[in-house]
Amino acid sequence: MNPILRTISEYRDAFSNFTPNAKRFLAGNALVWIASNLVQLLFNLYLKEAGYAEGAIGALLSTRALGSALVALPASLFIARIAPERMLPAGAFLTAAAYAGQALLPSGGVAASVLASGAFSTIFQVSAGPFFMRNSGEKERLLLFSLNGALSMLTGVVGSLLGGLARDLLAPALGDGLLAYRIALLAGTAFAAAAALPFARIDEGPAKPPSGLAGPGPGRGAAPLPEAVPAALTAAPPAEAEPPVSLYVRLLLPGFLTGMGAGLTIPYLNLYFKNVFFLTDSAIGGIVAAGQVATFIGMMAGPGIARRMGKPELVFWSQALSVPFILVLTWVRALPLVALAFLARQTLMNMSTPVSDAFGLGLVPPRRHHLLNALRMLNWTGSWMVAARVSGVLIEKSGFEASFVLTAALYTVSTALYGVFFVGKGKPGSVAPSS
């Protein structure tokens, strides 16, 4: 069978085995991501229109990461004890309110709203991994993680295109570019609020176990099976055992360096296209959307590639191959080549993220899923927060080149460490591909 048709068939069959809870979570997440991508595309362009310098924009973006870092661990521990049908709808409404504050409040209120948006949106991120582990069976688990990641890209297309087009259409009609940004940003508020509807339909009571699992956990839906991994990778320990601290270090350190590199560059890519190539907001939205489509395809293909070469090998090689494309963004000034490099970098760097998430959670027992998810979130946002603050000042003073070079260096070290920690510890394919 054609590989594309085989992948489509595989996801179709897996989707039929997803629990209703998993499908409702996916629907709510899709609406949250539309809102998030719309706001992320327009917000720092809005700040630039309002007269903020890059250093001040960096300070605000780091405030969002600060909000996320402050609540990642408490939210994870809290969510582990509170039913998601109560927590997730509230998170959707609070995120919507924070987005509205970013668009409507004066400067002091904007900072508070950015902090709040980072805090409230973290609820969905720290919930997803443990929720999917609990509400999926061994057969479809990796596909569920990958589909969730792919949907984040596909819905990002909607958010990016909608945001860019809305602002460019509203600005001449209203004769006020700043007001056009505010109205377009409010569309993100509407999508975030709408996410409360599917989240509210989640029922975390006993459910029919997917994929022929033995039975549901007490009052919490289907109980997941630990991921089968090579013994050399420290397979998921029994419930009474505690994972060694060294395992957490190996799982977190590469992500810290990747988050640092991402914070130096990713928040400013829309400003990069605007300042260096003088593109309109809708053109920037189109490039970002194209990158999300490419990443969607990559994420959908990830499980099949991981089956052939192994999960850690996929993570290592996809990230390693992305680094040269960052350097194209650094030094090349031909827009077609830069756009292609942007698409390649984004696809390669992100296509293995769901595989990496499922792999990491499979190395710890179920009772530590929330803790690991929170630590990873805190790890990422903490490094992003520092880097985004530093990079804003760096870009304001000397342009984008230094930030891009530092990003490439940090990604290289991160990928090398991941390879040392996990690659080659077992035969390709010995990691269970469907867990």
Q: What whole-number distance in Å separates Cα of residue 361 and Cα of residue 237?
A: 12
Q: What whole-number distance in Å separates Cα of residue 248 and Cα of residue 375?
A: 9
* 82-133: pLDDT as tens digits: 766 678 899 999 999 999 999 888 877 898 999 999 889 888 887 887 788 8
pLDDT value for 205:
56
SS3 35: helix
Give burial (CB, 10 Å; 0-12/13-18/19+) of 214: exposed
Q: What whole-number distance in Å separates Cα of residue 268 and Cα of residue 391?
A: 9
pLDDT value for 214:
36
- Tell me how crowded residue 6 is: count the other CB atoms within 10 A of its CB: 11
pLDDT value for 253:
94
- Tell me how crowded residue 317 is: count the other CB atoms within 10 A of its CB: 17
pLDDT in tens, the chain (435 residues): 566 677 777 777 777 778 898 899 999 999 999 999 899 888 988 988 888 888 888 888 888 888 887 887 777 777 667 766 678 899 999 999 999 999 888 877 898 999 999 889 888 887 887 788 888 777 777 788 888 887 877 888 888 888 888 888 888 888 888 899 999 999 989 999 999 999 999 886 544 444 443 333 333 333 333 333 444 444 444 444 678 889 999 999 999 999 999 989 988 898 899 889 999 888 888 898 888 888 888 888 888 888 888 889 999 999 999 999 999 999 999 999 999 999 999 999 888 888 888 888 888 888 888 788 778 878 888 888 888 888 888 888 888 999 999 999 999 999 999 999 998 764 433 333 332
Q: Of 104, 68, 88, whose CA–CA distance to 181 is shortest? A: 104
Which residues are paired to 216 by β-bridges? 222
pLDDT value for 80:
65
**What is the helix (H) or strand (E) element at residue 261, kind and residue range?**
helix 245-265
Q: What whole-number distance in Å separates Cα of residue 195 and Cα of residue 29?
A: 7
**Model-level pTM?**
0.68
CB distance 249 to 418 below 8 Å: no
Q: How many residues does the chain have?
A: 435
- Tell me how crowded residue 151 is: count the other CB atoms within 10 A of its CB: 18
- Tell me how crowded residue 178 is: count the other CB atoms within 10 A of its CB: 12
For 367-405, give the DSSP string: GGHHHHHHHHHHHHHHHHHHHHHHHHHHHHHH-SHHHHH
Domain boundary assignment for the chain? 3-201+243-422
Contacts of 99 (CB under 8 A, 6+ apart): 35, 39, 113, 117, 185, 186, 188, 189, 192
Give, in words, the CATH class of 3-201+243-422. Answer: mainly alpha
Q: How far is CA 257 from CA 251, 264, 348, 379, 384, in A?
A: 12, 11, 17, 9, 9
Q: What whole-number distance in Å separates Cα of residue 294 and Cα of residue 345?
A: 10
Q: How far is CA 110 from CA 42, 47, 99, 100, 104, in A?
A: 14, 10, 9, 9, 8
